[in-house]
Amino acid sequence: MKSIGCIVAGMLAGSAPMAAQCSMCRTAAAAQDALAAQALDAGIVVLLVPAVALFTGVFLLAFRSDAASRRSR
C-alpha cells in the first residue's frame, strides 16, 4: 500500500504545471489576466480533490471487500 502512495506522490511531484482542464475553462482563462487564470486553475484543482477522494474511497472499499471475501474462502 505504501508503494502505491509513493508512485502517486512521484507522479504528482514530477508532473508539469497544468493548464485549464476543459475547452470552456481554457477560453475563460484566456479572456482574463494571468492572476485570474491562475485562480481559475486553482479552483479546478480544488474541485477535483473531493471527486478523486470519493473515487479512491470507493475503489479501496471494493478492493478490501474483495480481499476479505478471498480470505474467507
Percentage of the chain exceeding pLDDT 90: 19
pLDDT above 60 (res 8): yes
pLDDT given at position 55 = 94
Cell of residue 72, nine digits:
474467507
DSSP 17: P
**Rounded to whole angstroms, what are the CA distances from 55 to 7, 15, 23?**
17, 21, 24
| Distance, CA of 39 to CA of 36 (rounded, Å) | 5
pTM (whole model) above 0.75: no
Residue 54 confidence class, pLDDT cut points 50, 70, 90: very high
Task: Label residue 32 left, alpha or beta by phi (over 0 means left) and psi (-120 to 50 means alpha).
Answer: beta
